[in-house]
Amino acid sequence: MQYRNPVIRGFNPDPSICRVGKDYYLVTSSFEYFPGIPIYHSRDLVNWKQIGNCVQRAEEFPLTHVKDSGGIWAPSIRFHEGKFYVTATLEQYGNFIVSAEDPSGEWSGPVWVDVGGIDPSVLFDGEKVYYCTNQSEHPGREEITLEEIDIETGRLLTPPKAVWSGIGGGFLEAPHIYHIGEWYYILTAEGGTNFNHMITAGRSRSVWGPYEECPWNPVLTNVHDTSKEVQCSGHGDLVQDHRGGWWMVHLGIRLCRRTMSNLGRETFLTPVEWEDGWIFAGENKK
């Protein structure tokens, strides 16, 4: 497949993606801008069209007093039994879930989840629904925390449990957990959303861990090659296409002068390969 990055240009950071049949849906952060959480549709992972916004009613999402780069952060989108679910963080208020049967139509009001941290994500796994953020259960330690929830009410069904601490890159965030084959995989961002940004991975036989570290972490980064025109790559989400191939959407910036970027963080697409039950993206394999 031929394509040119970024696949969604301009201010479109923190992408998350899901597939329904041959259709792909993607959301990005909107921060202090309204309407919030733009949602895009594609039939080929390359050509994207915005079809709406997941945050539509200002009275439900107080943004009046948020500062620059505040507001709504890092949405995650998933599809389950005929309905789309998007979860994100609203600065100063917490984590919420909105849902819709038609992603281009009207979305529900927020269902609030009483879990700390940011960058929430949902895993539908059989009859159970799991929720994770970068909340820490141990003071002074960066962690990804997991709990089972009721997706319709946001009520916690199990206490939060710390399942992953990354590889020590700092600024651990943007967790996604996937059930692929016999393994549960965790994908996280580390290094901060700047030139040390990276994506790291682990796997476990149980959703609750312990997760072993991928032997060639980070699985995607530009930190080792500052000669590239694209930098700060990180904060990614996995998707399997309808032909069986694997891809990652992630943020990155295009440099225009030294360390400057006119268009900020954009959405990029990178092919994913598997080896010995582990993923790696692009040239990121030691």
Active site residues: 14, 173
* 3-class secondary-structure state, position 90: strand
Q: Where on the phi/psi map is residue 244: left (φ > 0), alpha (ψ -120 to 50), or beta?
A: left
How many whole angstroms separate alpha carbon 229 and alpha carbon 206?
39
How many whole angstroms separate alpha carbon 82 and alpha carbon 49?
21
- In the structure encoding, which two tokens stand for residue 4, read together? 């040119």
In whole angstroms, how far apart are CA 267 and each of 5, 66, 182, 207, 271?
8, 24, 30, 28, 14
In whole angstroms, how far apart are CA 197 and each of 36, 132, 177, 191, 251?
25, 20, 19, 5, 10
In this structure, the chain runs to a length of: 286
DSSP string, 7-53: SB-SS--S-EEEEETTEEEEE---BT-SSEEEEEEESSSSS-EEEEE
249: β partners: 237, 269
Q: Which residues contact 28 (CB under 8 A, 6 or more apart)?
A: 8, 12, 13, 14, 15, 16, 37, 38, 40, 75, 267
